[in-house]
Amino acid sequence: MSQVVRLSDVQRQRRGRVAFSRAELSQLLNIYSRRVARGEWRDYAIDHGVAMAAFSIFRHSYERPVYVVAKLVGPRGAHFAVFDHQSNSIKRGETLGEVLSVFQAPGRGLTG
């Protein structure tokens, strides 16, 4: 059975959650689509949390992410990080473009 919910209630629940901006999503999807075209990546997921938003990149849908690009918000504001499949931090920076530069480096393909 369907349940009617007020839009204002949903918006209230979403407040305080970290999300990627439209420009940030554009940057992420630009790199993602190039890697999909090369056959390196196959799927992605976006999660929005209270202190972090995550863009997870998968080689196969049923595996753990190969990379996670995170937007972290703390007392000093937002910063970004890229983590590998073992949750090791590969790169951190103040801007998304800065951390996405790690994917321009040789060797950051299928397995990293």
> What is the predicted pLDDT for the residue at 5?
66
Task: Specify the pTM.
Answer: 0.79
Do the domain assignments include residue 29?
A: yes
**Which tokens go with 54?**
């995550």
Domain total in the chain: 1
Tokens encoding 45: 């997921």
Neighbours of 96 (CB within 10 A): 23
Q: What angle do CA 63, 20, 9 make, to 5 degrees?
A: 100
| The predicted structure's pLDDT at residue 3 | 77
Q: Which domain holds residue 91?
A: 18-104
What pLDDT is stored for residue 107 in this prediction?
Answer: 58
CA distance 38 to 55: 19
**What local confidence, expressed as pLDDT, does residue 112 receive?**
42
Residue 13 in domain: no
How many Cα atoms occupy the beta-carbon half-sphere of 22 within 13 Å? Answer: 0
Residue 39 — left, alpha, or beta (φ > 0 → left; ψ -120 to 50 → alpha)? left
Residues lower than pLDDT 70 in the chain? 1, 5, 7-15, 105-112
Contact between 88 and 74 under an 8 Å Cβ cutoff? The reply is no
Question: Look-up: residue for tokens 């992420």?
Answer: 28
Give the pLDDT confidence score for residue 30 in this predicted structure.
Answer: 96
pLDDT for the residue 76: 85
**Would residue 40 count as lying in a domain?**
yes
